[in-house]
Amino acid sequence: MSQPISGPPPMPVTDWLSAQWDDACALDPRGDARPDGGFDDLIAAERKIEPRDQMPSGYRETLIRQLGQHAHSEVVGMQPEAHWIPRAPTLHRKAVLLAKVQDEAGHGLYLYAAAETLGATREDMLAALLAGRQGYLSFINYPTLTWADTAALAWLTDGAAIVNQVPLCQTSYGPYARAMLRVCREESFHHRQGFDSLWVMMRGTAAQREMAADAVARWWYPALAMFGPPDARSTHSAQSMAWRIKRFSNDELRQRFVDVCVPQAELLGVTLPDPAMRWNAERRHYDFTPPDFGELTQVIRGHGPCNRQRLEHRRQVHEEGRWVREAAAEYARKHAMRNGGQDGT
């Protein structure tokens, strides 16, 4: 007789996140009837700005900066978890982690491609990253000390990415919104597999439970810091909200993330490392201790525990991949000459 399959229960999510996701999925940015008029009319009518549209230079520059930083975060963000692929405890976990890390590379590609529709070049964006002129999400600069870090990272930082990025599916720039819809579908898998891995560890041996609890405790504040500085200190927020690039403020998203996490942590049986965390019936949100923004600033400025290591590794693989880029460019040139008799440029 076959045994009933027991596994992790469904992950509870808040009504707010479900509603955001329903709105994003209901959206067909390509099917929108567009009003006559310019940029401001399109923004006011909640229509997408497309690459051919006129747009203020500040809007273009803001998007290029945001898309570049987002793409870098996806690509550099592969490192903390890739380290664990050869050390995965089972073939199943290895296959899942491999798929997740490959997804992150794909997210980087969608986002670099979206920035290219605005006139940025991939070479310039990568040069800015490698020279340290353009940043990426600070959580990447913390180490992954044990196997449980892959689970805590996915549950918390991919979970934070979902709260941040599901609203971005409705951002005003069409190629960005469409890229985010695909990214979020994959982030949901990342989030779920992290929850699944933690759930199994929390029901394992005492050593596994301890390892999982330790990893969650170390990743909680880096995940909260992913939402950026508090609204009062966020330099770009007001304009980005007016252009509908950003739909919610940093502090609101951080609160929404906490509200999503607490019931999930209870189900997992893991303690979030914040003694001040409690339900506030008046606000209908959880109270919590915000991250140390002084530390966040230090990490963003390059003084995190792994800043140097992450960037150095990125520089090294960029050099190692040079021959692949050159071969691909040469192949494209010859292909274009064969097909069009052009010079292939």
What is the binding site for Fe ion (CB under 5 A)? Answer: 74, 104, 107, 158, 187, 190
Structure tokens at 253: 């998203």
Q: What is the largest CA-CA distance in the chain?
A: 71
Beta strands in the chain (DSSP E): 278-280, 285-287
Residue 47 or 178: which CB sits closer to Fe ion? 178
CA-to-CA dists, residue 10 to 58, 197, 199, 259, angstroms = 43, 13, 11, 17
Residue 158 or 274: which CB sits closer to Fe ion? 158
CB of 224 to Fe ion, least distance (A): 17
CB of 152 to Fe ion, least distance (A): 13
Query: Closest Cα partner for 58 from 242, 226, 227, 230?
Result: 242
Residue 179 or 270: which CB sits closer to Fe ion? 179
CB of 238 to Fe ion, least distance (A): 27
CB of 100 to Fe ion, least distance (A): 6
Residue 72 or 107: which CB sits closer to Fe ion? 107
> Is the distance from CB of 242 to CB of 269 less than 8 angstroms?
no
Q: Which residue has the tokens 């006139």?
A: 119
CB of 157 to Fe ion, least distance (A): 8
Residue 47 or 107: which CB sits closer to Fe ion? 107
Residue 42 or 183: which CB sits closer to Fe ion? 183
Alpha helices in 117-205 (DSSP H): 122-130, 148-152, 159-165, 174-202
Burial 129-139 (b: 16+ CB within 10 A, else e): bbeeebbbbbb
CB of 258 to Fe ion, least distance (A): 19
CA-based torsion, 232, 237, 241, 243: positive or negative = positive
